Amino acid sequence: LEFITEHRNTGFRLNWTPVKEPLGFVKLVEWFSLFFFQTWKVSSYGMLHFSLCFYTFICRLNQELLVENNTTLCNRTVPATHLVGDSSSSVEFFVAVAVLAFLYSMVALLVYLGYMHVYRDSDFGPMFDFALTAVFAFLWLVCSSAWARGLQTVKDATGTAGIESTLALCTDKDVKCEVTEYASLRSLNISVIFGFLNLIIWVGNAWFVYKETRWHSQKVNAQQAAGRGPNPAPI
């Protein structure tokens, strides 16, 4: 009785072919978009806030003074008044998803380029990759929607209607409150667009990863078998 042991090479084997295929190319696009997002965020805001906030006042409006205590406005003494709103949870969730997605896409690219022979040799690799990619696609939908709503809260709170509802002074008939200067929210608007673009990219990537799983191969084989029809009966 002879036992034969098959040795499989599971070591790192650099291969650039996967990035020329949709599977690796889309993952590369994900990594570059998230790398650009991190670089743009640092350059736009001067430093990377480890609190995961873009601007402090954007995160927690209710901690920012609109009017200091005993300030005289329109011949009236106004008590300390804070802005209304707290968008910290939505922006922290959004940036956390971006950071985790960046790390996962980087690890996935490393696997594609160096361990694709192991990845495609087992069912676990593609199935695990598909599950995580689908989860991130869902997270991009949730966090982008949450941050879009949070940003709208900021705009409402700092607009004329928001200031009028916050300052009791504005309710007087002979006082008219109006916001004449607005802070630029262009970068924050871009971040919302970035989130929904990543949703589209990750959904597309989920499809290409799904094609690597045995679920897809079993479905294709079943369709081919149905197309051929039953074997002819022997004569």
Domain membership of residue 202 (yes or no) is yes
Cβ 18 vs Cβ 113: under 8 Å: yes
User: Which residues, including other chains, have CB under 8 Å from residue 40's CB and lie 6 or more apart?
Assistant: none
Range of the domain at 102: 22-58+87-221
The pLDDT assigned to 230 comes to 57
Mean pLDDT of the chain: 78
pTM of the model: 0.77
Domain membership of residue 151 (yes or no) is yes
User: Which of 168, 186, 182, 161 lies closest to 85, judged by CA?
Assistant: 161
- Other Cβ atoms less than 10 A from the Cβ of 68: the count is 10
Domain membership of residue 78 (yes or no) is no
pLDDT in tens, 188-215: 888 889 899 999 999 999 999 998 888 7
The pLDDT assigned to 43 comes to 47
Domain membership of residue 14 (yes or no) is no
Q: Would the CA dihedral through 8, 14, 18, 20 be positive or negative?
A: negative
Number of domains observed in the structure of the chain: 1
- In this prediction, residue 109 has a pLDDT band, given cuts at 50, 70 and 90, of very high
pLDDT in tens, 97-106: 988 999 999 9
Q: Which has the higher per-residue pLDDT, 218 or 24? A: 24
Domain membership of residue 172 (yes or no) is yes
Domain membership of residue 26 (yes or no) is yes
The pLDDT assigned to 222 comes to 56
Average pLDDT over residues 48-71: 61
Domain membership of residue 82 (yes or no) is no
- In this prediction, residue 187 has a pLDDT band, given cuts at 50, 70 and 90, of confident
